[in-house]
Copies of this chain bind each other. A is one copy, B any other.
C-alpha cells in the first residue's frame, strides 16, 4: 500500500495558508526542518513531531548560507521525489520546499548571530556555519509558525544554538530534540554517510565506539582531558584523518567543564574526517 502523494508548498504564502487553516481549525502544528536526502533519522523526527501535534510540516531546503566556499553545497545529495515519499510514509502532512530565491530575495542582508554556544567545536571548524543555520532556522520558524519544532540531537551543537536563539528572540515555539538514530553497528545516520567508500564505511562506527568508551571512562572517574585524548587516539589509530575535536562540554551552553560541573549534565562531542567526509557525533556522558 503506497501513501498518497504529499502536498507541497513552494512559497511562504502557500505554507502560511495551510498552517493558518490548520490553526483556525484548532489543530496543533509540528515542524521538522531538514536539508533533504532523508533517512530514518529524519523520519524519526517526523514521527516524534506527530506525537506532539495534529499536523506535521517538514521542510526540505539545502541552505547555501551555512556552507562555506569549498564545502559540499553543490554535491549535497538531493532527491525530492524520494524525500516526499518517505515523508508521506512517516505521517508528514505537508512538504515545504522553497527555492533559494524565495528564501533570499534580492537585497537580503540580515544575519542572526548566536554568541557563546555557537563559538567552540564546529564554530571553530566552520566559522560561518552557525550564523547561516541561525538565520535560516529563524526564518523557517517564523514562516511556518508551528507550535512545536523538532531537531535532531545528532547535530547537538546546532540544537543548542537553536534553543538559545528561540529563547533570546522570543520565538513562540517549543523546541524538542530527537534522539540520534544509528545503524546496527552504531554509526549515526547522516546524509553525508553516502559519501563514504566501502572501506571507510567499515571504519566509521569507531567514532561512536570511541564516544561510548569515553563516556564509560568518565563515569568511572577518568579525567576529562585524559579521556578526550584517548578517544582522539582511538580515532587516529582507526584511520580517521584530522580529528577536529573530541571534547566534553556542558550539555546546555557547551562551555568547558569546570570544578563545579556535574557529569550528568555533560555531553561529549566529536568531529573527524574519514577520507573526504567529515563525520560528527555526540553522546550524553550519563544517560
Contact = CB atoms under 8 A, between A and B. Distances in A.
Interface in A109-156: 109-117, 134-135, 138-139, 142-143, 145
A238 interface: no
Size range of the interface on A? Answer: 20 to 34
A31 to B, nearest CB: 14
A253 B164 CA distance: 30
A171 interface: yes
B164 A109 contact: yes
A196 B163 CA distance: 45
Contact of A116 (B109, B164, B165): B109
Contacts of A143: 170
B112 A164 contact: no
Given A107-B253, A113-B110, A113-B111, A142 B164 contact: no
A103 to B, nearest CB: 9
Given A139-B170, A172-B16, A109 B105 contact: no
A135 B170 CA distance: 11
Q: Which of A114, A116, A170 has the most CB of B within 10 A?
A: A170
Interface of A: 12, 16, 105, 107-117, 134-135, 138-139, 142-143, 145, 164-165, 167-172, 253
22 contacts: A12-B170, A16-B172, A105-B167, A107-B164, A109-B114, A109-B115, A109-B116, A109-B164, A110-B112, A110-B114, A110-B115, A110-B134, A110-B164, A110-B165, A110-B168, A110-B169, A111-B115, A138-B169, A139-B168, A139-B170, A142-B169, A142-B171
